[in-house]
Amino acid sequence: MEIGIVIAVVVVALVFDYTNGFHDAANAIATSVSTGALKPRVALAMAAIMNFVGAFLGQKVAQTVSETIDPGTGTHALVIVMAGLLGAITWNMITWYYGLPSSSSHALIGGLVGAAVAAGATANWDVVLEKVVIPMFVSPIVAFSLGFGLMVVIMWVFRNANPGRANRGFKIAQTISAAAMALGHGLQDAQKTMGVIFLALLAGGYVTASDPLPLWVIIAAAAAISAGTYSGGWRIMRTLGRRIIHLDPPRGFAAEAVAASVLYTTAYGFSAPISTTHTITSAVMGVGATKRLSAVRWGVAKSILTAWVLTFPAAALAAAICYWIAHIFLP
């Protein structure tokens, strides 16, 4: 019975990883596609490869995710983890349907916390506050500010450049910045699924807290998010690449470069599972604001902000409902 639930949790975790990939594919490539720097399928293939590679570059974020709750051990603990995943998947699908670039990261952690609270298990609030909630508010502000600042520098440095030649150069540069962004997405988001799978193995008694991540977990998570990325997320790509602001190649490069830098810094420096969605969207708004504040479609931004605010509690509620339903059949 228990081994069956462990396998089911791992499968559902990989399904979440796949939905994370197509939900967040826009994070890495929407700006490059919208500026014409990359063709959509080429961009998706590059993003899928870099997502796969990025998953092997660290484990600090995975460790943080595995520490957000302490569900205990046994069947009941596995049900809690399963409910957390189902809550996150539910919210991912809702926001994907409406084309809103919400955070898969915060949906996952919100789901785990919601399921733990519903079950009366322990949520590690110090970890959640320090590594999730604070970065959730700080990272978009940093990305917006750095995006605005970098774009101001680019505008000043290239103020006398030939516009056509400069745009061609920045289209080439966007290939590099988009690859860096996709690598950062793999580094951040694939690790979150690894952390959940490790949590399930821990609950089932198949690993101890001091064990390293099994290689098969890393490969499976990397493959799932890579496959999801290649399948694309066209609804969200339209929102991020076109509806917030019409990007040109210099602004696309600046947004991607800033977002990638923030992802690497938080992963390696703070072990914080931040939202790649929040980061790139805020950077896009920041570079867009250098045109003029009215150039950013703040109505669209308001809808995105609403999804951001709702993600953690909505995923938590969905996970709690999933736990209560599961608890009826698995008391």
Candidates 141, 21, 109; CA nearest to 313 is: 109
| 309 found inside a domain | yes
State the amino acid at position 135 in one-letter form: P
For the chain, count helices (H), then strands (E).
Answer: 14, 2
| 331 found inside a domain | no
Q: How far apart are CA 256 and CA 259, in angstroms?
A: 5
Which residues, in sequence order, are CB contacts of 298 under 8 Å at separation 6+? none
Q: In a structure prediction context, what are the per-residue pLDDT tens digits for the chain, which is 331 residues long?
A: 578 888 989 999 999 888 888 776 666 677 777 777 777 778 778 888 888 998 898 888 888 888 888 888 888 889 999 999 999 999 888 887 776 667 788 899 999 999 999 998 888 888 888 888 888 888 888 999 999 999 999 999 998 888 888 888 988 888 888 889 888 888 888 888 899 999 999 888 888 888 888 999 999 999 998 888 877 655 555 555 455 556 788 888 999 899 999 999 988 888 888 888 788 888 888 888 887 665 556 665 666 677 778 888 999 999 999 999 887 776 5
Per-residue model confidence (pLDDT) at position 61: 86
| 186 found inside a domain | yes
The helix (run of H) or strand (run of E) holding residue 325 is: helix 298-329
| 318 found inside a domain | yes
| 189 found inside a domain | yes
Can you give the pTM of this predicted structure? 0.84
Per-residue model confidence (pLDDT) at position 94: 86
Encoded tokens for 164: 């056509």
Instruction: Classify each residue of 150-170 as buried b or exposed e, where b means 16 or more C-beta atoms within 10 Å of its C-beta.
Output: bbeebeeeeeeeeeeebbebb
Per-residue model confidence (pLDDT) at position 241: 47
| 330 found inside a domain | no
Candidates 138, 140, 85, 93; CA nearest to 316 is: 85
Tell me if 61 sits within 8 A of 271, measured CB to CB.
yes
pLDDT digits 0-9 by tens, 167-210: 889 888 888 888 898 888 888 888 888 999 999 998 888 888 88
Per-residue model confidence (pLDDT) at position 188: 86
Tell me if 229 sits within 8 A of 113, measured CB to CB.
no
Tell me if 189 sits within 8 A of 276, measured CB to CB.
yes
Q: Which domain, by its residues, includes 107?
A: 2-323
Per-residue model confidence (pLDDT) at position 236: 53
Domain count within the chain: 1
Q: How far apart are CA 161 and CA 170, in angstroms?
A: 12
Residue position matching structure tokens 């520490």: 67
| 329 found inside a domain | no
Per-residue model confidence (pLDDT) at position 47: 82
| 80 found inside a domain | yes
Q: How far apart are CA 79 and CA 77, in angstroms?
A: 5
